[in-house]
Structure 1
Amino acid sequence: MSTSFLKDFVKNGRKIYGAAYNYRNPSGDVKDQIKEPVLFLKAPSDYITEGNPIVIPPGYILMEELELGVIIGKTCKNVNVKDALDCIGGYCIALDMTAVSEWKKAISQKTPWTTSKTFDTSCPVSSFIPKEVIKDPDNVELFCTVNGQPQQDGNTNKLVFSATELISFISRYHTLEPNDMILTGTPPSPGTVKEGDIIEGGIKGGVTIKFFVKSNL
């Protein structure tokens, strides 16, 4: 798949998968971690790019979760982990905006996470990052600040399931297509945001993003 086509992943992508609980705890102890990926979906209409605000829906409390996004470069189904790297066409920096108020309600009631994960402006992203820019998706230093104050810091080498493992797992059940995106998981420690906040972050020494937060009044 040509890079020029993948540059328009926001317009052309049909699926956004997210991986929950996918960073090891701060001690690095994985014995109590999940046994297989915990996944959720966002709608492609949730995408926004820089210059557009993150809008807080009425009654919601939002939390920012900065992540490395993996852009699928070719159709893949039942792909092995060792072959999954070839399915990656590029990357992006993404924010998985989560309505923590709705998420806590869903957890307590044992109901789906849908309204906490997918809503307008809940998937802010950078422009397309060519595959060759990131030599190893399993060793990417990520950071996030809110109003200039450090909020998140971590490396994708602490993912419970790597990008290629996520691709392999998802492709068992869902054919992945060019321009689909996988949110790989967020490092410690995401925080809540409010109207007027400025979220910045990205790859240390690399691509960064900046988004403003506003209320839907």
Structure 2
Amino acid sequence: MSEIFAAAAPVTVPIAHSNDCFAVRRIYCIGRNYVEHAREMGGEPDHQSLVFFNKPTDAILYVAPGMVGQFPYPPSSNNVHYEMELVVALGKRGRDIPVERALEYVFGYALGLDMTRRDLQAEMKRQGYPWEIGKAFDHAAPLGPIHRVDEIGHCQQGAIWLKVNDVEKQRADVSQLIWPVAQAISYLSTLSELVPGDLIYTGTPGGVGPIVKGDLMIGGIEGLGEFAVKVT
């Protein structure tokens, strides 16, 4: 049998300080993983339940160091929000991973933005429908290069921040994650087998808000530097 259409090229992300690339298999995203963000979204922090959703791999918008990524304002929305996040890249296959071994599965870390069509998400929630439409759209996952864990260590603490047009909107510390990286990996591995190439967007601090065309977002995490994304 022959293919009717050519298969899509795999989505790859450069690895920092290397000529190698990381082939992305699946993107998991964690919601309401900082106390203040959980509250601003109308809920209370709950360590007993992890909220997660997926984005398609082709939603990645790679942002190279020293460059400004171009984020096209998406259609069908008038209320698009930024969400600055620590991203975990997995390098080992596993299922039912114990918390105490979970960090062994981390290949590296990266800067990421979980862009959200908040109005569409809110309407789907109001109707009791899945709200993938608010999260899974073209260019919805800006991502910087992946930094190998054997070069930078594990990102278990350090400032995370985002500025819009040089005005700080978000600031927290990754140590404030309700579900830290190891616990998130362990839990997700009970639901699906995790595979090299999987990414986990770990959640955003409080202070999320709207962007408009022309805005410049600059986000960073201690130990990973910063990246810039302009809304076009």
Give the alignment's TM-score, normalised by structure 2.
Answer: 0.83
Q: In structure 1, what is the equivalent of residue 186 of structure 2?
A: 168
Q: In structure 1, what is the equivalent of residue 88 of structure 2?
A: 70
Which of the numbers 23, 26, 40 marks the counterpart of 1:15? 26
108-117 or 196-205, larger mean C-alpha shift: 196-205
Bigger Rg over Cα? 2
Change (3 A) 1:157 1:99: same
Q: In structure 1, what is the equivalent of residue 107 of structure 2?
A: 89
Task: Tell me, yes or no, if structure 1 residue 59 matches structure 2 residue 76.
Answer: yes
Q: CA deviation at 1:134?
A: 4.1
Instruction: Give the gaps of 5 or more residues in structure 2.
Output: 1-14
Q: In structure 2, what is the equivalent of residue 41 of structure 1?
A: 54
162-171 or 202-211, larger mean C-alpha shift: 202-211
Q: Helix, strand or coil: the match of 2:35?
A: coil
Q: In structure 2, what is the equivalent of residue 124 of structure 1?
A: 142
The aligned amino acid for 1:62 is: V
Q: Deviations over 1:130-176 (max 9, x none)?
A: 11344342212101000111011011111111111111111112111
Cα RMSD (Å):
2.2
Q: CA deviation at 1:8?
A: 2.3
Contact 2:69/2:228, CA 8 A, preserved across alignment: no
Change (3 A) 1:52 1:137: closer
The aligned amino acid for 2:53 is: F
Change (3 A) 1:123 1:7: farther
Change (3 A) 1:201 1:7: farther
Contact 1:18/1:39, CA 8 A, preserved across alignment: yes
Q: Helix, strand or coil: the match of 1:25?
A: helix
User: Structure 1 CA distance, aligned partners of 2:115 and 2:92?
Assistant: 27
Change (3 A) 1:134 1:187: farther
User: Structure 1 CA distance, aligned partners of 2:217 and 2:89?
Assistant: 22
Contact 2:28/2:52, CA 8 A, preserved across alignment: yes
The aligned amino acid for 1:8 is: C
The aligned amino acid for 1:196 is: G
